[in-house]
Amino acid sequence: MTRVAFIGAGSVVFTRQLVADLLRFPELADVTFALHDLDPDRLAVAEGTAKRLNEQLGTHATVVATLDRREALAGADFVINMIQVGGIDATIKDLRIPAGYGLRQTIGDTTGVGGVFRALRTFPALTALTADMREVCPDAWLLNYTNPMAMNVWWASVVAPEIKTVGLCHSVYWTAHDLAELVGVPLEETHYRAAGVNHQAWLLEWTHQGRDLYPLLRERIAAEPELERRVRVEIFRRIGYYPTETSEHSSEYLSWFLRSDEQIARFRIEPLQYIGISQGNVAEFETAKVLLAGTDPFPVEGGAAEYAPQVIHSIVTGTPREIHGNVVNNGLIDNLPAGAVVEVPCLVDASGLRPVPMGALPPQCAAQNRPYLSVAELTIEAARRGDPRLVRQAVLMDPNASSTLRPEQIWEMCDDLVAAHGDLLPEALRQPLPASGL
């Protein structure tokens, strides 16, 4: 019997969708869900939700819930990681403190100052999680959803290289889905492959019945001038390949957009957007509690767009699939650094998951990816060495931060964030540094 451990199961809406997607596969109808969270109230709602879905779908899964992570992991075949260290309070600090310095972010969970500090809070938890896996489920797959994706998978490769780890994100799928809708072709009739880094991969292959769809996309954009007021369309126009993350999120990976009010208005960007999204997630938890107290069926989206259920089903049943995953760059993209974490197509079947080597990216795409990977590399090194100076240098390398703030402001802002996050950060990184940099 397949055992799937959910770490951070208190993300109840996401847990609900993954449980439903898994149970829709007949071969997984008797799966065991082992749910873990540090918050007993959220864990109780996640447990009740999984049990209600099991009844609702007429399946015969086993659902166990525990505050003990090792108990949840014991004997697991797959471990789905979706923790958020510090919760919404830490997220708001990551956004509001930089905003006080004039540094604008939209989501702030993947790169830039928000991504750096979220990573530094998450790394200790990942270290502990993989250490437990090494002891109680060493052969399990770690399927990571927690952001910052590239940094977290990279960190796992440093502290637990023997654990089979892949980062899963739906941005490539939804990009292909939405673009197919925009140009008026059925998604299931298209072929697409992307490569790069998470949230900044590039749609390199995109065809319909053998026909390149990029000319059709250019025609569609030319016919509707308002589309040119979207960040992703501007990136596409300048780079020549479409990026695989939303315009709001893409805006904070480059120096082009958030540094001026004029650009923000032109490209219809909403700074601090993730605060509202996070507050909405809290509201969804309250809604889930109300649903659980009643008898109405739980709403779940149709299909199985999320990759984790597909990966699990393919490995368990041998059904071949191709997804996009975040994995260590061992000869996968020639002109990005070896050892970094890249996003590429991956073949999945009973033998496991095999990344597809993609050769060299178009040089302009690789050039755009490298600053992102520099921020990630310095963050990894800051945590590995316990060096607070490298934390500041990671933020200094971020195009958005360096286009907006002077170096001494970056140092001061990082001091404020260190103080605000306190013991959520590794002790060695809590030391303030003089703004002079000396």
Q: What is the tens place of the pLDDT at every residue in 198-244?
A: 999 999 999 999 999 999 999 999 999 899 999 999 999 999 999 99
Q: Which residues of 131-166 are buried (b: 16+ CB within 10 A; e: fewer)?
A: ebbeebbeebbbbbbbbbbbbbbbbbbbbbeebbbb
pLDDT class for 312, splitting at 50, 70, 90? very high
CA 121 to chain centre: 15
Q: What is the pTM of this model?
A: 0.96
> How buried is 355 (Cβ within 10 angstroms: 0-12 exposed, 13-18 middle, 19+ buried)?
buried
What is the average pLDDT score of the chain?
A: 95
Residue 192 counted as domain residue: no
Tokens of 198: 């998470």
Beta bridge partners of 363: none
Residue 298 pLDDT = 78
CA distance 398 to 113: 8
CA distance 236 to 214: 10
What is the total count of domains within the chain? Answer: 1
Per residue in 234-271, pLDDT tens? 999 999 999 999 999 999 999 999 999 999 999 999 99
Give CA angle at 205 (203, 207), nearest 5°: 115
Residue 4 pLDDT = 98
Within 10 angstroms of residue 261's Cβ, the number of other Cβ atoms is 9
CA distance 45 to 14: 12
Per residue in 183-202, pLDDT tens? 999 999 999 999 999 999 99
Residue 265 counted as domain residue: no
Strands 32-36 and 321-328: unpaired
Spatial CB neighbours of 161, under 8 Å, sequence gap ≥ 6 = none
Q: Which residues of 277-292 are buried (b: 16+ CB within 10 A; e: fewer)?
A: ebeebeeebeebbebb
Question: What is the CATH number for 8?
Answer: 3.40.50.720
Residue 356 pLDDT = 98
pLDDT class for 304, splitting at 50, 70, 90? low
Mean pLDDT score, 138-152? 98
CA distance 111 to 109: 6
Residue 69 counted as domain residue: yes
Q: What percent of the chain has pLDDT over 90?
A: 89
Residue 16 counted as domain residue: yes
CA distance 419 to 163: 33
CA distance 401 to 222: 32
pLDDT over 90 at 13, yes or no: no
Beta bridge partners of 165: 142
Per residue in 100-121, pLDDT tens? 999 999 999 999 999 999 999 9
Mean pLDDT score, 142-156? 98
Active-site residue identified among 36, 170, 191, 249: 170
CA distance 396 to 401: 7
Specify whether 421 is catalytic. no
Tokens of 243: 């990026």
* Contact yes or no for 390/378 (Cβ under 8 A): yes
CA 283 to chain centre: 21
In whole angstroms, how large is the CA radius of gyration of the chain? 21
Residue 257 pLDDT = 96
Domain containing 50 equals 3-88+104-167
Residue 21 counted as domain residue: yes
Query: Is 8 strand, coil or helix?
Result: coil
pLDDT class for 303, splitting at 50, 70, 90? low
pLDDT over 70 at 302, yes or no: no
Residue 291 pLDDT = 81
pLDDT over 80 at 436, yes or no: no
Write the secondary structure of 211-231 as one string of H (helix), E (strand) and C (coil): EECHHHHHHHHHHCHHHHHCH
Residue 113 pLDDT = 98
Residue 83 counted as domain residue: yes
Residue 437 pLDDT = 67
Tokens of 41: 């109230």
Q: What percent of the chain has pLDDT over 70?
A: 99
Residue 20 counted as domain residue: yes
Within 10 angstroms of residue 45's Cβ, the number of other Cβ atoms is 24
* Contact yes or no for 90/54 (Cβ under 8 A): no
Per residue in 317-350, pLDDT tens? 999 999 999 999 999 999 999 999 999 999 999 9
Residue 191 counted as domain residue: no
Mean pLDDT score, 368-395? 98
Spatial CB neighbours of 286, under 8 Å, sequence gap ≥ 6 = none
Tokens of 377: 């590399």
CA distance 172 to 347: 15
pLDDT class for 432, splitting at 50, 70, 90? confident
pLDDT over 80 at 300, yes or no: no
pLDDT over 70 at 122, yes or no: yes
pLDDT over 70 at 25, yes or no: yes
Dump the DSSP string for 176-222: HHHHHHHHT--GGGEEEEEEEETTEEEEEEEEETTEESHHHHHHHHH
